[in-house]
A and B are shown apart, each in its own frame.
Chain A
Amino acid sequence: MTATHAPSAPRLDVDALIDSPETRIIVCCGAGGVGKTTTAAALGLRAAERGRRAVVITVDPARRLAQSLGLESLDNAPRPVPLPEGTPGGLHAMMLDMKRTFDEVVEEHADPERARQILANPFYQTLSTSFSGTQEYMAMEKLGQLRQSGEWDLIVVDTPPSRSALDFLDAPKRLGRFLDGRLIRFLSAPASTGAFRFLGAGVNLVTSAVNKVVGAQLLSDLRSFVSAFDTVFGGFQARAERTYRLLQAPGTAFVVVTVPDTDALREASYFVDRLAADGMPLAGLVVNRAHPLPDGAGARLTAAEAVRAETALRDAGTHSLASAALRLHAERVRTREHEARLRNRMLSHHRGIRVAEVAALPEDVHDLAGLRTIGAALADG
């Protein structure tokens, strides 16, 4: 009767994945807080210790990762992570700085005078620091750059914390559409209403709404931004599309991270569907922070048996220690059963998906040793 054991899904063979020279990019994605950054770092470390020249790009505003890698801080260029003598491969790590990355792209695509204009524009400054989607856009850009450089044979990508895991794939396009779209053109040249006949009689209304709501100063910032950025944008958009295609290439593997709760599994499920729809290669699912039961006599005692035995003791009014231990055991088995139910429900919609389970450690992951433990657990499945 135990749903608690016998993982019904095939095992995700993490070592085969990271050992294969064919694997060039691993993208870790999933809902907020499930362990994407931790998984990315653990995979990078394990790959390095098994001989790969790996780099991890992370997006972790909390700087936990830098600390766990033994670095004071990370910045926008890959830094070597100090590993024990005799490690066969190597590990670099970097933390995405979206503004720096954006600035660099502008500088690369525009002549110096135009670049200066763009960088000084207040609208650009907001765009490059706080538009939603910029982080995802720049993470893709950085990935493209690292891949191009050829310095690493494995790139592990951590995806930004966001409301939805799908944002990693959708946000760059959404932002690209905005930058290239009707709205920005309309706002920057509302006078030339000819191009906006599709709005019908709405044009004047909209113009007046826009003026009232956003005010004249923003419009003038926007106008100078658009005129300077227009020449740069084409090259920019083309790069983003190339990188997106890289995600569909055979050397790329997506690892979807989740925890065994309803919301995170639902999010993982959407993401898996989306990868299939876009022809992006899924390596498998990591179920992080699970609560497996240890093998042995404990695992064989069901919750119902434990409760029955506990009731007998309670009725007799003796052995309070054993009674408490049995209650505790019943609770633990129920937790496990609940997790297994949620997990199996998700897997039944995604037959054949490969799974690795990682148990919840008693404490947060603080250092290389912790990452190594997670890496080993990933490989054990």
Chain B
Amino acid sequence: MRLHIVTGKGGTGKTTVATALAMALASRGGRVLLVEVEGRQGVATLLGHPALPYEERELTPLPSGGRVCVLAADAESALLEYLELFYGMRRAGQALNRLGAVDFATTIAPGLRDVLLTGKATEAVRRRAGARRRAADSASAPFHYDAVVMDAPPTGRIGRFLNVNSEVAGLARVGPVRDHADKVMSVIRSPRTRVHFVTLLEEMPAQETLDGIAEINALGLRVGSVVVNMARPPLLGEDDLAAAANGGLDKAELVSGLKAAGLSDVDGLAAALSDEVRAHALRVRLEHRTRARLTELGRPVVELPHLEGGVDRSALDRLAETLGEQGMDR
């Protein structure tokens, strides 16, 4: 695959998974670009860097020798770059800004913002080695990047974001914007593009994943993996879980354990803890059901553990490795 689009409900770990995926893809020695499009500096925050510029910056090299570059794309810079690159119009950009046109294109007009951002990512996918300009598209030179990973908008907006063609249709049924949108769309529709969904084993994110997958399928785009993030192992064995869920937890055993641990007020404590264990058991049951619903989709389900202490560089290395072990680096 050459373009990996990572979406999911807000806060489920899109930025984390996109970064880990870029590292996993590069771990075989290739060159990978990670693009974020929400203008929120999520990757910089994750890596503890100061804000990244609108520029493809290389991360510290991976041990494998692979290379990951990061681009924090924003619509305004993409617009100015687009005007300059395609029309040689840097000064027009400044005048447009004074007119309020930049504001219009990047915050008010439907779809223009999206076509600019997807345009930037798909340009990187098409780019050939040696040159950065349009002419290079048709060359037979090897691709500049082996893969591009996009940290995409959340599930609620992903369909509209990727369906740039119909999004700009209201404003541009014909003409250059439309041509540009068509070109972007051909990369997004390519058989070598996948949309991955990050989810937690909770009702809402899983439901958004199911809805999002249906939407992506309906658009004729290709769904990749479902990444279950922040998975926690159950703290109890199957039997105890089943008993607790049905309210049949062995209280006497709990009381004697708490006593053995030297705690006081064990009866009150046992009552409180058995409620907590029951809630845990019910949650684990719900997680099983959720996992089953996700598995039924027939897409590969990849699981990442919840890492205590949050995500830093070494945690990202671990997550990347885990993605690789589950075959997502292909």
Contact = CB atoms under 8 A, between A and B. Distances in A.
A247 B210 CA distance: 38
B29 interface: no
Interface stretch (A1-9, A13-21, A77-85, A211-219): A211-219
Contacts, number: 184
A361 to B, nearest CB: 11
Contacts of A299: 272
Contacts of A212: 87, 176
B257 A313 contact: yes
A33 B170 CA distance: 28
Interface in A173-212: 174-175, 177-178, 181-183, 186, 196, 198-200, 202-203, 205-206, 208-210, 212
Interface string B92-114: 10111011110110011111000
Given A131-B108, A178-B108, A261-B11, A328 B277 contact: yes
Interface stretch (B65-73, B142-150, B262-270): B262-270
Interface in A352-366: 362-364
Contacts of B218: none
A182 B99 contact: yes
B214 to A, nearest CB: 14
Given A294-B275, A297-B268, A321-B250, A132 B108 contact: yes
Given A326-B273, A328-B280, A122 B170 contact: yes
B258 A309 contact: yes
Contacts of B290: none
Interface string A25-51: 000000011000000000000000000
Contacts of A205: 89, 91-92, 95
Contact of A218 (B96, B154, B175, B265): B175
B172 interface: yes
A356 to B, nearest CB: 22
Interface in B7-46: 9-11
Contacts of B129: none
A111 interface: no
Given A209-B92, A325-B276, A328-B235, A215 B172 contact: yes
Interface string A94-136: 0000000000000000000000000000110110011111000
B76 interface: no
A326 to B, nearest CB: 7
Contacts of A209: 83, 87, 89, 92, 96
Contacts of A218: 171-172, 175
What secondary structure prevails in chain B residues at the interface with A?
A: helix
B274 A325 contact: yes
A332 B240 contact: no
How many A residues are at the interface, by size bracket? 35 or more
A20 B259 CA distance: 53
Interface string B166-199: 0100111111111000000000000000000000
B108 A206 contact: no
A161 interface: yes
Nearest to A161: B156
Contact of B276 (A32, A175, A328): A328
Nearest to A33: B10
Contact of B100 (A183, A215, A364): A183
B156 A32 contact: yes
B163 to A, nearest CB: 12
A326 B257 CA distance: 10
A130 B110 contact: yes
Interface string A203-246: 10110111011111110000000000000000000000000000
B236 A310 contact: no
Given A212-B87, A294-B272, A206 B235 contact: no
Contact of B171 (A214, A296, A329): A214
B113 to A, nearest CB: 8
Given A125-B170, A202-B94, A322-B258, 19 more contacts: A122-B170, A133-B108, A174-B108, A178-B104, A202-B91, A214-B171, A215-B172, A261-B11, A296-B271, A297-B268, A297-B271, A298-B272, A298-B275, A319-B256, A321-B240, A321-B250, A322-B253, A322-B260, A325-B257
Interface of B: 9-11, 83, 87, 89, 91-92, 94-96, 98-101, 103-104, 107-111, 154, 156, 167, 170-178, 203-204, 235-237, 240, 249-250, 253-254, 256-258, 260-263, 265, 268-269, 271-277, 279-280, 282
List the 7 shortest-distance A-B pairs measured between CB atoms, nearest first.
Answer: A322-B257, A215-B175, A298-B272, A202-B95, A319-B257, A297-B268, A126-B170
